C-alpha cells in the first residue's frame, strides 16, 4: 500500500473513545475535537465516574454522535449494543485511563459498558493513563500495566509534570498531539496488517539456563521484553507467531503460540520443530557454554577447598543453525548485545552467522538495558547501518516490524 493510499484511508476512520473518571477527563473534549478535525468518526463511552467531570451533552456536541453510558440500556442492548460498539470501531482509545479502570480491565471484569466492550473487542486498544504519581508508581498499577501490555494493549504516556493534586511527577495525561500520533501509528499498522497476514514467524526470547547441579546454573540477565514486544508487534501486523521462550517473568502473550524451554539445546530443538517459517528472529540471550557433565546431586563445599573447576563445552549456535538450515527462513534476524565496538562487532557477527540482519545494542552505553522498558539499537544489514534513538522496546519492535513488512512487500510495504 502506498503512503498516498494509506493517508486517504486514514481520512475517515472509526474511533471509539472511552473516557475514564479522572480530573483529566476534561482534556478528552480537545481530543475529540482534534479527531473530528481529521475527518475521523468518533463514538464515545463515558464511565459512571466520568460524568462527574464532563457532561454527556458536551461530548455529544463535539463528537456529533450519541454518548453511550449504560451497559443495560433496553434500547441498545435489544440489539446487543456493546457487541456492536466493539465491532464498529477500528481502534479503541481509553483517555484518561485511570488506575481503577486499568485494574478492572487487567482482571477481565465486565461490570459496565466500558469494560464489557474492552473484553469483547479484537480491535487495537490504546490506553492513555492519568493518575497521581504515587498511584502510577504503585506496584499493583505497574503489574497491571505490564499485564495489559503483554496482552497487546498499547500505551501513550503518562507524562511528567504538574498534577491536579498539586504534586509534580509522572502521571499526567499525555498531550493531545501525542495521543493523536499514537492513534495514527495504530491505524497505519492496521492498514498494513494484511501485509503479513499469511506469514509465519519464529521468535526466541528470554534467557537460557544451563544446569551445574540440581541447584545451580549458568545464565544471564535477559528479561525477554524485547523478544516479547516483537512477538506482539508481528501478531498485530497479521502474522502467525511462534514464541520459543527461555526463562522470563513475563506472561505468555495472548494470541501467540508460546513454547517454554530452559536450556539452549531445548531451545534449538523447539525451533527446528517449527520449521518451515517465513522469518526467524533470535532475540534470546542463549548461554554460549554449558557444563560438560552436570552433577546429578548438589555439589557440596568441601572444607578448606578454595577452588572448583568446571569443564565447559560450547552450546549449539541457534542463529547460525537456522541461517544455514536446508529449510532456511526467507529472513533471519539476530540480536547482538555488545559492551564495546558495537557496529564493528555486529558486522562480524552478521558475516559469521550467515543471517540477514543483526539488531545491535550497546549494553555499556545504555546502562540498565536488561530488564528495562527502553532500548537503543542499530540495524545492520548488507545495505548499511540504521541507528535508532532511544525508545521503548515496544517502539523498537514496531520499527523493526515495519522494516520486515517492507522486506516482504518491497513494492507496497511501509518504508
Q: Which residues of 294-317 are buried (b: 16+ CB within 10 A; e: fewer)?
A: beeeeeeeeeeeeeeeeeeeebeb
Length of the chain equals 415
pLDDT at res. 163: 62
The alpha-helical segments, DSSP class H, found in 262-328 are 264-274, 318-323
Question: What angle is formed at CA 228 by the lines to CA 246 and CA 399, rounded to 5 degrees?
Answer: 140
pLDDT at res. 411: 60
Neighbouring residues of 204: CB distance < 8 A, sequence distance ≥ 6 = 227, 243, 244, 245, 246, 267, 271, 281, 282, 283, 284, 286, 318
Is the fold of 3-192 the same as that of 197-295+305-408?
A: yes
The domain locations on the chain are 3-192, 197-295+305-408
Given the DSSP bridges, would you call strands 391-392 and 374-375 parallel, antiparallel or unpaired? antiparallel
pLDDT at res. 414: 39
Residue 285 DSSP symbol: B
pLDDT at res. 70: 75
Establish how many alpha carbons lie within 13 A of residue 157's alpha carbon, considering only the half-sphere containing its beta carbon. Answer: 32
| Whether 93 contacts 135, CB under 8 Å | no
Query: Does 165 participate in catalysis according to the annotation?
Result: yes
Residue 111 DSSP symbol: S
Q: What are phi and psi of 222, to 5 degrees?
A: -60, 135
Residues of the chain below pLDDT 70: 1-12, 71-82, 162-166, 169, 189-194, 364-371, 411-415
Region 197-295+305-408: CATH code: 3.40.50.10300
| Whether 77 contacts 109, CB under 8 Å | no
Number of Cβ atoms within 10 Å of the Cβ of 338 = 18
Crossing angle for the helix pair 113-120 and 99-106, to the nearest 10 degrees = 50
**Reduced to 3 states, what is the DSSP secondary structure of residue 234?**
helix
Pick the CATH number of 3-192 from 3.40.50.1950, 3.10.20.340, 3.30.930.10, 3.20.20.150: 3.40.50.1950
C-alpha cell at 363: 549494553
If you count DSSP H runs as helices and E runs as strands, how many of each does the chain have, helices first? 16, 22
**E strands of 130-224, at which residues?**
154-155, 159-162, 168-172, 200-205, 210-211, 217-218
Choice among 165, 271, 282, 355 that is catalytic:
165
Residue with cell 477500528: 90
Burial class (CB in 10 A: 0-12, 13-18, 19+), 24: buried
C-alpha cell at 278: 517465513
**Sign, Cα dihedral of 73, 75, 77, 80:** negative
**Reduced to 3 states, what is the DSSP secondary structure of residue 374?**
strand
CA distance 296 to 392: 42
The alpha-helical segments, DSSP class H, found in 164-205 are 176-192
CA distance 358 to 347: 8
pLDDT at res. 78: 43
**Reduced to 3 states, what is the DSSP secondary structure of residue 209?**
coil
| Whether 88 contacts 43, CB under 8 Å | yes
Cα–Cα nearest to 232, from 251, 213, 207, 210: 251
Looking at the whole model, is its pTM more than 0.85?
no
Amino acid at each position: 500500500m502506498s503512503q498516498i493510499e494509506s493517508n486517504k484511508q486514514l481520512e475517515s476512520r472509526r474511533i471509539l473513545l472511552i473516557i475514564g473518571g479522572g480530573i483529566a477527563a476534561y482534556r478528552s473534549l480537545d481530543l475529540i475535537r482534534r479527531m473530528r478535525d481529521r475527518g475521523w468518526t468518533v463514538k464515545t463511552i463515558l464511565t459512571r465516574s466520568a460524568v462527574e467531570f464532563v457532561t454527556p451533552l458536551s461530548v455529544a456536541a463535539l463528537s456529533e454522535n450519541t454518548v453511550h453510558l449504560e451497559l443495560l440500556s433496553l434500547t441498545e442492548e435489544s440489539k446487543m449494543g456493546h457487541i456492536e460498539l466493539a465491532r464498529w470501531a477500528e481502534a479503541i482509545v481509553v483517555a484518561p485511563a485511570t488506575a481503577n479502570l486499568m485494574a478492572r480491565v487487567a482482571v477481565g471484569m465486565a461490570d459496565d459498558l466500558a469494560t464489557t466492550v474492552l473484553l469483547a473487542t479484537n480491535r487495537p486498544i490504546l490506553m492513555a493513563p492519568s493518575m497521581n504519581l504515587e498511584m502510577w508508581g504503585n506496584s499493583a498499577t505497574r503489574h497491571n500495566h505490564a499485564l495489559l501490555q503483554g496482552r497487546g494493549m498499547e500505551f501513550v504516556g503518562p507524562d511528567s509534570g504538574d498534577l491536579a493534586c498539586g504534586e509534580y511527577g509522572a502521571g499526567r495525561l499525555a498531550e493531545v498531539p501525542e495521543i493523536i500520533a499514537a492513534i495514527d501509528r495504530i491505524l497505519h499498522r492496521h492498514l498494513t496488517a494484511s501485509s503479513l497476514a499469511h506469514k509465519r514467524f519464529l521468535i526466541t526470547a528470554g534467557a537460557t539456563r544451563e544446569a551445574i547441579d540440581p541447584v545451580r546454573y549458568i545464565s544471564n540477565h535477559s528479561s525477554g521484553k524485547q523478544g516479547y514486544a516483537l512477538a506482539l508487534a508481528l501478531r498485530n501486523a497479521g502474522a502467525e507467531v511462534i514464541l520459543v521462550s527461555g526463562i522470563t517473568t513475563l506472561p505468555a502473550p495472548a494470541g501467540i503460540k508460546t513454547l517454554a524451554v530452559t536450556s539452549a539445546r531445548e531451545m534449538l530443538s523447539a525451533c527446528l520443530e517449527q520449521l518451515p517459517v517465513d522469518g526467524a528472529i533470535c532475540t534470546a540471550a542463549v548461554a554460549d557454554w554449558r557444563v560438560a557433565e552436570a552433577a546429578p546431586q548438589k555439589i557440596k563445599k568441601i572444607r578448606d577447598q578454595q577452588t572448583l573447576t568446571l569443564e565447559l563445552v560450547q552450546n549449539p549456535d541457534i542463529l547460525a543453525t537456522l541461517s544455514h538450515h536446508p529449510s532456511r527462513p526467507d529472513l533471519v534476524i539476530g540480536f547482538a548485545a555488545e559492551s564495546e565496538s558495537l557496529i564493528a562487532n555486529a558486522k562480524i557477527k552478521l558475516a559469521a552467522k550467515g543471517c540477514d540482519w543483526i539488531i545491535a545494542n550497546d549494553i555499556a552505553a545504555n546502562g540498565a538495558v536488561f530488564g528495562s522498558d527502553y532500548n537503543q539499537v542499530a540495524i545492520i544489514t548488507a545495505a548499511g547501518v540504521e541507528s535508532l534513538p532511544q525508545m521503548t522496546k515496544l517502539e523498537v519492535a514496531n520499527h523493526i516490524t515495519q522494516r520486515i513488512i517492507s522486506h516482504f512487500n518491497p513494492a507496497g510495504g511501509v518504508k
